[in-house]
Structure 1
């Protein structure tokens, strides 16, 4: 019998299990239940790459749609507020008339319709009015509007100002609206200290971190069993420990261990994961982690950030910040500026007085393996 792999290690794809994310989902559902102004209706979700921020937004959308709400999902980039406006209100409301005496334009007298772009000065009020009109329709049906913005750290300031201003007015007017924005931890310093965006400080903070290994073990045991493949003993122990509680790695390890076991044993009456299957699947998962998490993470860092991390990678465990400065041939104050940056980005973590360690699983191994290339790219 053909079995389907229950794990989905693809960015933004809804996995069959949201291990360790019960509390944040409960907070959002409670917000929907408690009505306008409830804390769970204004939320910021933060965490390093791979902890499942996009997956959480997707699940929030599913929960809202189950209540017949409209859901608008956006990813921050140039033109965010304009795109959001056009999705809240059909573009036909935003057309303006232009008349040009040109034979190149079709229509009598060269009349054409063009879509009007709203200026940054007009956008807050325009967006607010559009939200109000959309909610007028939805609330008559006892429904509401959920807006989610992913990768919020990449948004332009004027776009966030317009959205925050409009949402703030909707909340003041006790409209059925929910707004959730997600991104790297840097959004806290980028947006929340902006005087114009003080409203966003009220957003309920939901930092996503690692999942306890006991929960990973239970999830693996149940998910493998439900798919018709058994995993237990040393094989289960190896798979659980390889995840390091990192949500994306949970999906990767589960996917590749399941895949190896199924390919090898699918013709057997009972399929179970051997220790060799687990080890092979873990190797495949680690290779994929480098391509999808470590590589993109390094691409987003400065040359000095990379130099700092390479200095850390020389240690087998936590690194002394003073020793890192020596390896960089810099004074401690200079090195500490980059220590702070990397901690805020959750690439590394403070593990005691004067000590730091990697926050992303297996980043040390990746840096060692790709050190030559990283040094060249950092020059």
Structure 2
């Protein structure tokens, strides 16, 4: 029976129907939960470029925690982070331990102890004490608490130091707590090197890479087959190779080719393949690529445009030469672009694009030829 809905989810942060290339990471986390307090995977940092699936990965370990009966507090590193975590801990303690008079249940979500409620205001106390009491009670029931924080590269340093100090204390007390962060690689690296918390340097670090083409092909093969869409092995391979193993592009390619195939009699014809891939690339350009590019300064854009002249990894010395600047000066742009997750190190003295289709997007920009043939176009400021 043909599915009525498209099985792919090409929306940032959306949970895809199949976790391509990430199953092992979820299994590692499950093992850490089973091993209990202090297990290495319960203190984790997931990093990778834009669109690689960091938010989705946090969602996966949150689901794993819930399946093991753990409470989950899911947050993003925006203003008021510590206050929100403290409030969530207090609410969880009241719900699970105290159940105070005056509480009114407003709704609940499926999953152990996941409950929304409104309660009378109470005097404030530092969340470390409240967290200790909550974890002691959860521990007595053979469960625990997972706190996840997305976009850690944007975190307030004082917030990070406080969260790390409190969680470190809980671990020393052998209490069942997990803490997982996600963020852009260079920014995460710089954050940990700042010395805000030596404790976090001991976290398990997972650098999320693209999935293998074989894994992508297997996922496409299964998903198309189960949804009643016919695709030859040759076209499955073409689809997989078009994604480069990049998670967000996997969903985009799958979504648009599947939609075209349904219109063509539930078969991935050459017409459906060509039209679907074109739509996927346009969507990739209009969402991930263009928004990332437009957020950069003109000088940083020029570095990318100079890189676009190469067919593969770029030598940083040659990029500086094309831009008419010294390697030290060019290194300033490189560091900013690494921190932004736009490029990545590809070997000694080399960088490459971290986001698929970026090279093609850059070559279509009006400034591409101008930058390649007229370095910086007279721009001399690195700001």
- TM-score calculated relative to the size of structure 2: 0.84
What is the CA–CA distance in structure 1 between the aligned matches of 2:367 and 2:205, rounded to whole Å?
A: 39
- Which residue number corresponds to residue 56 of structure 1? 57
Asked if the contact 1:310/1:371 (under 8 Å) is kept, the reply is: no
What is the CA–CA distance in structure 1 between the aligned matches of 2:93 and 2:44, rounded to whole Å?
A: 31
Deviations 1:210-248 (A, max 9, x none): 111011111100111011112123322221111011111
Matched, 1:129 2:129: yes
Structure-to-structure mapping, 1:61-140, within 5 angstroms: 61-90=62-91, 126-140=126-140
Tell me how far 1:306 sits from its aligned partner: 1.4
Tell me how far 1:169 sits from its aligned partner: 0.5
What is the CA–CA distance in structure 2 between the aligned matches of 1:370 and 1:23, rounded to whole Å?
A: 39
- Which residue number corresponds to residue 23 of structure 2? 22
Task: Determine helix, strand or coil for the equivalent of 2:126.
Answer: helix
Unpaired runs of at least 5, structure 2: 95-119, 372-376
- Which residue number corresponds to residue 223 of structure 1? 223
Tell me how far 1:178 sits from its aligned partner: 0.5
What is the CA–CA distance in structure 1 between the aligned matches of 2:77 and 2:338, rounded to whole Å?
A: 23
Cα 1:185–1:350 change in 2 (3 A) is: closer
Give the one of 286, 309, 315 matched to 2:281: 286
Unpaired runs of at least 5, structure 1: 94-112, 119-124, 266-270
Deviations 1:44-76 (A, max 9, x none): 000001111111111111111112211110011
Tell me how large the CA RMSD over aligned residues is: 2.6
- TM-score calculated relative to the size of structure 1: 0.84
Task: Determine helix, strand or coil for the equivalent of 1:278.
Answer: helix
Deviations 1:181-214 (A, max 9, x none): 0011134333212334111101100110011101
Cα 1:92–1:139 change in 2 (3 A) is: closer
Structure-to-structure mapping, 1:1-379, within 5 angstroms: 3-90=4-91, 126-265=126-265, 271-352=266-347, 354-372=349-367
Cα 1:301–1:127 change in 2 (3 A) is: farther
Task: Determine helix, strand or coil for the equivalent of 2:75.
Answer: strand
Asked if the contact 1:127/1:163 (under 8 Å) is kept, the reply is: no
Task: Determine helix, strand or coil for the equivalent of 2:143.
Answer: coil
Name the count of aligned residue pairs.
347
What is the CA–CA distance in structure 2 between the aligned matches of 1:202 and 1:299, rounded to whole Å?
A: 36
What is the CA–CA distance in structure 2 between the aligned matches of 1:353 and 1:89, rounded to whole Å?
A: 49
What is the CA–CA distance in structure 2 between the aligned matches of 1:326 and 1:254, rounded to whole Å?
A: 40
What is the CA–CA distance in structure 2 between the aligned matches of 1:160 and 1:255, rounded to whole Å?
A: 38
